[in-house]
Amino acid sequence: MTALLTRPAVLSVEGLVVQFAKPRSAADLALRRRPPVLRAVDGVSLSVAPREVLGLVGESGSGKTTIGRAILGLHAPIAGRILFEGRDIAALDAKALRGFRRRVQMVFQDPYSSLNPKLAIGRAIGEVLRFHRIVPEAEISGEVRRLLSLVGLLPDMSERRPRSLSGGQRQRVGLARALAVRPSFMVLDEPVAALDVSIQAQILNLLSELGRELGLTMLLIAHELGVVRHMSDRIAVMYLGQIMEQGTTEEIFERPHHPYTRGLLAAAPKLQAAKRQRAAVLQGDIPSPLDIPSGCRFRTRCPMAAPRCVEPPAEVILSATHMARCHFAAP
């Protein structure tokens, strides 16, 4: 397994497998069978270098969010490991774990459901500062004001409740809460997907700026290809629990090798006025993650599929930073 990185990594995911069992149903009990198992992440390896933005892109069921949550320790992998600054996060003792949870923070998609509606936003941020003992008690309100202005909110908004804020403002609060503990690594899970277009740009620019100023490393999970291109240094393209292609942003967008990556790029609407005459790029439905095709998992929809695709393809190394998992990929 290659790191596809030309620098040492701050975070490495090695051969990660995460699966979910459905709860046993009455029918399962009656038939004495095991409930079906959903393998959401199936052997994923990736690395992120300091101060880099790695984009993780894919459609629903690709496992991109599960990877983000596994990095936070919210899902226990059944195989593989996650190394943060060289240490396996599953082997951290309580004290080291607390430190890890402070260094690594997550920003969620839905700013409407990720904040406590009863808590004034200043208190929501202050709570984090207090729990992690970031500043002495007396300095908390000053630090809250500093964080609010860091994310572009007025410091005197700290008494407001989430209900009185717009979606963009709430996402700024979510960001302030994540930044309160002075993390070095951020997992951003669809950070602008719930926002209107004109507000998306505000948040994306803020994220780039904060990333630069605070020297943050970021894993950006998104389905919107324009957003991923705009933000990422490197990109991993996922499909049904595996990385199909990984490369620098330029490699993925200018020289995509995997038929899925090509299909995804061709299917995404462009901002050029030209009435489409073409048929759909990829036919068929995304298979259920409960019933993943054997061999190459993309073969049921792949325009290039051939008999050999019943065998699982290996990772083909295309450059020091570029990999595609396809029988037909060649450097």
Partner 1 sequence: MIEPLLRITDLSVEFATRAGAIRANDHVSLDIRLGETLGIVGESGSGKSVLCRAILRLLPSPPAKVSAKAVMFGGRDLIRVDDKAMRAVRGRDISMIFQNPMTSLNPVWPIGDQVGEPLRVHRGMSGPQARRSAIELLRRVGIPSPEKRIDDYPHQWSGGMMQRAMIAIALAGAPKLMLADEPTTALDVTIQDQILALLLELQRESGMALVLVSHDMGVIAETADRVAVMYAGRIVELAPTVAIFEAPAHPYTQGLLRSIPRLEERRADLAVIPGQPPDLARLPKGCAFAERCPLATAECRSTAVALREIAPGHVAACLYPERVSALSWSAA
Which residues are near partner 1 by CB under 8 A?
59-60, 166, 168, 196-202, 204-205, 208, 223-227, 229-231, 249, 253, 263-265, 267-276, 278-283, 285-286, 301
Phi/psi at 300 (5° precision)? -70, -15
- CB of 86 or CB of 303, closer to partner 1: 303
Smallest separation (angstroms) from partner 1 to the CB of 210: 13
To partner 1, the closest distance from the beta carbon of 237 in angstroms equals 12
Residue (of 109, 115, 93, 40) closest to 70 by Cα position: 40
HEC states along 301-313?
CCCCCCHHHHCCC
* Choice between 205 and 294, CB closer to partner 1: 205
Of the two residues 128 and 216, which places its CB atom closer to partner 1 in the complex?
A: 216
Nearer to partner 1 among residue 139 and residue 196 (C-beta): 196
Give me the least distance between CB of 315 and partner 1, in Å please: 23
Nearer to partner 1, 146 or 230 (CB): 230
Query: Measuring CA to CA, how many Å separate 81 from each of 37, 77, 272?
Result: 20, 7, 44
**Residues contacting 15, CB < 8 A, separation 6+:** 1, 43, 44, 45, 79, 80, 81
C-alpha triplet 312, 243, 314: angle, nearest 5°: 30
Nearer to partner 1, 263 or 313 (CB): 263
SS3 68: helix
**Number of neighbouring beta carbons within 10 Å of residue 310:** 12
Residue 287 Cβ, how far from partner 1 at the closest point, in Å? 10
β-partners of residue 237 are 57, 245
CA distances from 310 to 258, 294, 327 (A): 16, 6, 10
For residue 130, the minimal CB distance to partner 1 (Å) is 31
E strand or H helix at 234: strand 234-239
CB 105 within 8 A of CB 179: yes
By the 8 A CB rule, do 168 and 228 touch? Answer: no
Min dist CB 81 to partner 1, Å, is 30
Least CB distance to partner 1 at residue 224 (A): 8
By beta-carbon proximity to partner 1, the closer residue of 12 and 169 is: 169
Measured N-to-C along each axis, helices 121-131 and 167-180 cross at an angle, to the nearest 10 degrees, of 20
- Specify the residue, 76 or 273, whose C-beta has the smaller distance to partner 1: 273
Task: Name the residue among 229, 254, 228, 231 with its Cα closest to residue 322.
Answer: 254
Shortest CB 118 distance to partner 1, Å = 20
